[in-house]
Every structure is written in structure tokens, then in C-alpha cells.
């Protein structure tokens, strides 16, 4: 099934306890688009870049069946840029620089060929931009929205309005607490599920992810890894793997959403193993299958001997 992912395609400077990378490609749209492309037949990417973004990267995306006709190019401006430094525990990070550049002008116009897509992933952007994309799709089957505390702080009303229009919300545990005013994630989920979405995914980074919906809870662990080099993009790869799997199976039952959460977790586990998109770029079908099997072995048990 056809799928749209919306999000930044950008440059990052990243410093972690395990190294640094300068002016590497990144952005929620890039990470989620690549992750989704391993499962979905075709990914329709919506973004905006400057003249400085390497054409070779776009060609790579096209080879992976990612349609880039929805990426607006502003030749005389620069791409969005983010610089961050991760704490020693890799859970926290400080933003060292944010240059909006082309993002200041982002007014997404979907190509006609995108508009009948059944699956839509709205990556973390201003709620207004997310709403503008929602206004242009015709008849979706599932809309996933990713956002962050920043928008809860400065644009809560606009964010709540867009949250009310989606099917699945993905946020982290602290954001779920902030949005709901509840400390218990179970209570937070109950409250958030009255705001519009039918499903809530709470991302807990190295502690896994929780899926709430239909009165059920499913937990997907994060794969314990010997080396985590760079967490950047893990949440986006999770979201991309999640919706990519759902689009490929065209089945939005809770049972299939569980599988989708595991597929998302698998893509996130690859993502953190190297800087930028290095690790998620060239995965083989066999590697992905093996990784999914690792998740199964990690979490399965028989209650009866």
C-alpha cells in the first residue's frame, strides 16, 4: 500500500561518547523514509531541502523506491541543520545549534500522485505544517503522528488540534506524562486516548516501547546491544519501520500493530549501531529477518514447561 512520510531531510553534527560526525545527512523524513522503504512497496517522501543537499543522496533514495518528487528544493538556501551532543548515558542530549534555514519557508504541497496514499506518517514538525499535510490527503486508512515536548511547550492548542485528527500518536515517556499530566504511563495512556488517537505508542529509548489501544497493552523491548554509537534517528526509524510494515501488510489489527512495533524496534536497533544513516542504509533482507528473530528470542517464553 502507498505511504507518505513527512519530515526533515537535513544535516546533523553529532557528538556521542563514542565519536563525532560532522555535517552528516539526517532528519526525521530521511530516517523514517529509509526505514519504511524496507517494507513498503513505495514511499512518498515530503520534505524541503536547500541547494547544499547532496544529489547523490536523493538518487540513493530513488533507487530504494522512495519518491522524492515531494521534496521541495530551494537552491539558494541551506538545508535544515541540527547539532547535538549526547550525555554519557546516551539517554539525554543537549542541542548545540539549530538552524532552520529552508524550514522557515516549509509550506508542503503534495504532488497529485501522493494524495491517495492510504498510510501517512507525520514526522516531528510544527503542528501547523502537520495540519497542512493532513488537509491535502484524500482518504487515508492510518495516520501516525510523531511530535515532541517542544510543541507541547509553545504550541499546545495547535498540537492538540492535530492530535485529534490522527490514529496513532508516538511520543516518549516524559512527553506522555507532560501531555496527560499523569505520572503512571497506564493513566497517561488512558487520558491521551481520549484526545483523538485510537492508539498510543510510548517510546522509552533503550527501555523499549509500549503500544496502547483497544484496551490492550503490548510491550516491545529494545534489543540490548554491545555497541550503541549514535541514538540520532532511532525514533524516526522506529516510526518508519512501524508504518512501513503496516502499509506493506495493509492490516491495522492490534495483532498486526504488535508486529509493526517489533519491526520498528528492529529498525531502531540498526540505526543506533552507527552514525547518521550508515547502518540503516544498506541492510539486507536476511539481516532484518535475523534481527526480528533476535527480538522474538529475547522476549518469548512458554508459561508451561
- Contact status: 60 vs a second copy (CB under 8 A): no
Query: Quick check: 258 binds a second copy (CB under 8 A)?
Result: yes
Contact mark string toward a second copy, 195..224, x via CB under 8 A: ---------x--xx-x-----xxxxxx--x
Nearest CA to 271 out of 256, 255, 287 is that of 287
Residues 175 and 149: beta-carbon distance below 8 Å: yes
Would you state the torsion angle of the CA atoms of residues 188, 204, 241, 151, taken in this order, to the nearest 10 degrees?
60
Closest CA to 66 of 36, 24, 28, 108: 36
Q: Which is nearer to a second copy, 22 or 255 (by Cβ)?
A: 255
Per DSSP, the three-state class of 96 is strand
| Span from 26-34, 61-69, 155-163, 186-194 in contact with a second copy (CB under 8 A) | 186-194
Q: How far apart are CA 37 and CA 72, in angstroms?
A: 20
**Piece in contact with a second copy (CB under 8 A), picked from 7-15, 56-64, 135-143, 252-260:** 252-260
Q: Based on CB atoms, which residue is closest to a second copy, 62 or 184?
A: 184
Binding to a second copy in span 86-145, by CB under 8 A: 88-89
What gap in Å lies between CA 79 and CA 90, rounded to an integer? 26
Chosen residue from 96, 154, 164, 225 binding a second copy by CB under 8 A: 225
Q: Does residue 303 belong to the site contacting a second copy (CB under 8 A)?
A: yes
Judged by CB under 8 A, the stretch of 7-15, 69-77, 135-143, 291-299 that binds a second copy is 291-299
3-state secondary structure of 110: coil
Nearer to a second copy, 122 or 228 (CB): 228
Q: Within 10 A of 194 (CB to CB), how many other CB atoms are there?
A: 8
Smallest gap from residue 65 Cβ to a second copy (A): 22
Burial of residue 63 (CB within 10 Å: 0-12, 13-18, 19+) is exposed
Smallest separation (angstroms) from a second copy to the CB of 303: 6
Q: State residue 165 phi and psi, 5-degree precision.
A: -100, 5
Least distance to a second copy from the beta carbon of 146, Å? 21
Candidate residues 262, 267, 268, 277; the one interacting with a second copy per rule CB under 8 A: 262
Q: Give CA–CA dist 36/245, Å, rounded.
A: 7
Closest to a second copy by CB, 60 or 219: 219
Grid cell 547523490 — which residue? 56
Judged by CB under 8 A, does residue 187 bind a second copy?
Answer: yes
Crossing angle for the helix pair 28-37 and 234-249, nearest 10 degrees? 40
Kindly report the backbone phi and psi dihedral angles of residue 15, in degrees, each rounded to the nearest multiple of 5, phi listed first. -125, 125
302 binds a second copy (CB under 8 A): yes
Q: How far is the CB of 226 from a second copy (least distance, A)?
A: 4
Q: Which residues here bind a second copy, judged by CB under 8 A?
A: 17, 88-89, 183-187, 190, 204, 207-208, 210, 216-221, 224-228, 249, 251, 255-256, 258-259, 261-262, 292-293, 296-303, 305
Amino acid at each position: 500500500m502507498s505511504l507518505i512520510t513527512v519530515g526533515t531531510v537535513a544535516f546533523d553534527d553529532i557528538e556521542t561518547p563514542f565519536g563525532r560526525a560532522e555535517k552528516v545527512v539526517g532528519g526525521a523524513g530521511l530516517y523514517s523514509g529509509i526505514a519504511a522503504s524496507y517494507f513498503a512497496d513505495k514511499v512518498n517522501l515530503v520534505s524541503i531541502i536547500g541547494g547544499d543537499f547532496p544529489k547523490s543522496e536523493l538518487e540513493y533514495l530513488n533507487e530504494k523506491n522512495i519518491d522524492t518528487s515531494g521534496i521541495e528544493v530551494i537552491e539558494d538556501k541551506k538545508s535544515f541543520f541540527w547539532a547535538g551532543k549526547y550525555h554519557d548515558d546516551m539517554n539525554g542530549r543537549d542541542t548545540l545549534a539549530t538552524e532552520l534555514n529552508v524550514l522557515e519557508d516549509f509550506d508542503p504541497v503534495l504532488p497529485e500522485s501522493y494524495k491517495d496514499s492510504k498510510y501517512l506518517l507525520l514526522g516531528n514538525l510544527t503542528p501547523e505544517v502537520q495540519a497542512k499535510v493532513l488537509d491535502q490527503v484524500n482518504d487515508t486508512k492510518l495516520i501516525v503522528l510523531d511530535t515532541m515536548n517542544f510543541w507541547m511547550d509553545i504550541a499546545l492548542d495547535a498540537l492538540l488540534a492535530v492530535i485529534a485528527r490522527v490514529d496513532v500518536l508516538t511520543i516518549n515517556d516524559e512527553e506522555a506524562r507532560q501531555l496527560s499530566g499523569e505520572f503512571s504511563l497506564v493513566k497517561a495512556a488512558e487520558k491521551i486516548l481520549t484526545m483523538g488517537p485510537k492508539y498510543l505508542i510510548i517510546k522509552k529509548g533503550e527501555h523499549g516501547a509500549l503500544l496502547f489501544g483497544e484496551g490492550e497493552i503490548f510491550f516491545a523491548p529494545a534489543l540490548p546491544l554491545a555497541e550503541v554509537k549514535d541514538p540520532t534517528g532511532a525514533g524516526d526509524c522506529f516510526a518508519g519501520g512501524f508504518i512501513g510494515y503496516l502499509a506493506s501488510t495493509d492490516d491495522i489489527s492490534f495483532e498486526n500493530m504488535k508486529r509493526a512495533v517489533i519491526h520498528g524496534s528492529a529498525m531502531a536497533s540498526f540505526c543506533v549501531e552507527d552514525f547518521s544513516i550508515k547502518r540503516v542504509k544498506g541492510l539486507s533482507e536476511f539481516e532484518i529477518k535475523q534481527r526480528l528473530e533476535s527480538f522474538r528470542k529475547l522476549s518469548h517464553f512458554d508459561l508451561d514447561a
